[in-house]
Amino acid sequence: MTPPSLALALAPAPGPAAPRRRVATREQVLMFRLDPRRAVGEDDICCLVCGQILRQLTNTHLRAHGITADEYKRGFGYNRRRPLMCGTLWRLYAVRAVRVGLASRIRSRPILTKPELRRRGGTRAISLEERLTRRDAQSRGRGALVVDLDPIVGD
């Protein structure tokens, strides 16, 4: 058996010509708004404005809501650099970026030429996503300690 090729992965998904619209329930959207990380899955991402379930939230989609990607991320508490796409698509783009040497084609690096950007370096707002991730990491640490201290219930 051969591994799936990138070309195959890039091909449009099989199915009917007109893709059917999937929409999350109101309860799901409200739950996702409490923890926006849950709106981003392996195979889809839920728009927290309209509840549509898509592979990525394009600028075109967000423009229909009258907002930019930055405003969307800030508004729902995502990290600034969070890609607004499902995990599968993100990895696909990451592999492609490495293959075509995308990083070497970036000519301008403002952080190197604009000292005012460097001065702002350490100051940034902590997003809801980051706060939730830190909290999870802390409780995982505590959980491991509890497991270590628990007596082993044997047979």
Edge-to-edge order in the sheet of strand 22-23? 22-23, 52-54, 45-46
Q: State which residue, 50 or 98, has the beta carbon closest to Zn ion.
A: 50
User: Is residue 23 involved in binding Zn ion (CB under 5 A)?
Assistant: no
Please report whether residue 85 would count as binding Zn ion according to CB under 5 A: no
**Could you tell me where the beta strands, DSSP code E, fall in 5-97?**
22-23, 45-46, 52-54
* Cβ-contact 77, 70 below 8 angstroms: no
Chain-centroid distance, C-alpha 63: 19
Tell me which stretch binds Zn ion (CB under 5 A): 1-9, 51-59, 101-109, 144-152.
51-59
Task: Say whether residue 50 binds Zn ion (CB under 5 A).
Answer: yes
Task: Select 67 or 92, whichever has its Cβ closest to Zn ion.
Answer: 67
Residue whose CB is less far from Zn ion, 66 or 154: 66
Instruction: Identify the DSSP state of 6.
Output: H
Q: From the list 24, 46, 49, 84, which residue makes contact with Zn ion (rule: CB under 5 A)?
A: 49
Residue 48, interface with Zn ion (CB under 5 A)? Answer: no
Closest approach of Zn ion to the CB of residue 76, in Å = 11
- Note whether 47 binds Zn ion by CB under 5 A: yes
Question: Which is nearest to 53 in space by CA: 73, 36, 38, 39?
Answer: 39
Q: Which helix H or strand E contains 94, and what residues bound it?
A: helix 87-99
Nearest residue (CB) to Zn ion, 27 versus 148? 27
Question: Binding residues for Zn ion, per CB under 5 A?
Answer: 47, 49-50, 52
